[in-house]
Amino acid sequence: MDSATGRELGKLSNGPRGSTYLAFRPDGLLLAIRDSGPGDPWTEVWDVHSERLLYHVPTGRAFSGTFSSNGKWVACGDSNGLVQVRAVADGKEVFTLAGHTGGTGGVNALAFSPDGRRLASGDEDGVLKLWDLSTRAELLTYRAARRGVRAVAFSPHGGLLAVGDTTGGVHLLDARPVTPALREEREVRALLDYWHTQLLTPEEVAARLKADASLSESVRSQALELAPLYRHDLKELHDAAWETLARPGATPEQYRLALRQAELAAKLDPDRKSVRTQDTLGAAYYRDGEFQKALDLFGPQVEPAEKRSEKGLVLQRAFAVMSLHRLAEHGRARAVLSDLRATMKLPAYAEDERNRALLREAEELLGGKGTKKE
């Protein structure tokens, strides 16, 4: 169609059924047409300017098709999980890739790398594969989504691969050709990713890297250089920990993870600029059964005489009450509970459901609202 006039420039006939997949060769001279209608599906390649059919190839139910960057090959995916690579010149099959045949869905997304050396294929089961076309070897297998891959695209330099799935997600993958340098880079990043999950400070990670005798000096030096970039966010750590610690009923494993998160947050705040990190750490000690450590943090905040009449301190008082009770300091626990109840009579604190939940937990632990003795 002429964009200026809207006039149709030509029409390529491909039989009575619809054209379901179309792909131009990079030079724009040829067009691949794939049919996936009922009956006997096929692939056709047309010369656009002469509107001449170059060849017609019957295939399994067609799902996708694309040309290589040099225009010599066309790749077609089918419903059986096969990827057929054919020569554009005569339509003859060059080779077939069968890496998707173990699933239940067909290959519905294909893309050649800009250099023509690799091919990405995605199927309806959500599996993405990256192929080395010179060896026919799988370089990468990645599960993008359970319901399927819908689109794949290489960046202009071929180093990144974008994968679109049926959930609306777009995944970015490293698609560079594997070289010794790339293997080393991936080892460095995998190493740092692992230590990051262990909830360590950059300084602690550096100490472990220096002590690891299994690392090559090249990997060690690169990892030490990048380690400071793998710093945890203080607020994210604190909020993740508190989400678990705010109420009883989590599993021991969940509480241990929250304790590690709270400990790291406290390390990242050595000057205690945020009171919340210390309070969260105290709550983590209590939930993990380290009652004396919890009391060591909360006791000085709520038990001294000058603190008894201070407003607020709901969290501190509640966890101090429960820690004292667990340590069989029942008289002290009742005294702090009395101060907590007095605070909770003030509307500013009583209206907060989180405060009410902490008061309920403390009272239930001590035996109820009216309890005078254990």
pLDDT classification of 103: cutoffs 50, 70, 90: low
The arrangement of strands across the sheet holding 160-165 comes to 149-154, 160-165, 170-174
pLDDT classification of 63: cutoffs 50, 70, 90: low
Which pLDDT belongs to residue 13?
A: 60
Q: Is the pLDDT of residue 371 over 60?
A: no
pLDDT classification of 54: cutoffs 50, 70, 90: confident
Rounded Cα distance, 135 and 138, in Å: 9
Look at residue 256 and give its three-state secondary structure.
helix
Which pLDDT belongs to residue 356?
A: 95
Report the first-to-last Cα separation within the chain, whole angstroms.
88
User: Dihedral, CA atoms, 173, 178, 182, 187, nearest 10 degrees?
Assistant: 80
Q: Which structural domains are found in the chain, ordered by start?
A: 21-176 (2.130.10.10), 181-229 (no CATH), 234-366 (1.25.40.10)
pLDDT classification of 191: cutoffs 50, 70, 90: very high
pLDDT classification of 144: cutoffs 50, 70, 90: confident
Q: Which residue has the tokens 């993405």?
A: 128
Look at residue 82 and give its three-state secondary structure.
coil
List Cβ<8 Å contacts ≥24 apart for 333-339: 333/366, 334/366, 334/372, 334/373, 335/303, 336/302, 336/303, 337/362, 337/363, 337/366, 339/302, 339/308
- The pLDDT tens digits for 6-31 are 566 667 765 555 545 677 888 888 88
| DSSP state for residue 228 in the 8-state scheme | G
pLDDT classification of 90: cutoffs 50, 70, 90: confident
Q: What are the angstrom distances between the C-alpha of 45 and each of 11, 18, 62, 86?
A: 14, 15, 14, 11
pLDDT classification of 266: cutoffs 50, 70, 90: very high
pLDDT classification of 347: cutoffs 50, 70, 90: very high
Cβ neighbors of 99 (< 8 A, separation 6 or more) are 81, 83, 121, 129, 131, 138, 141
Q: Is the pLDDT of residue 36 over 70?
A: no
Cβ neighbors of 11 (< 8 A, separation 6 or more) are 51
Which pLDDT belongs to residue 309?
A: 84
Q: What is the mean pLDDT of the chain?
A: 86
Which pLDDT belongs to residue 374?
A: 39
pLDDT classification of 64: cutoffs 50, 70, 90: low
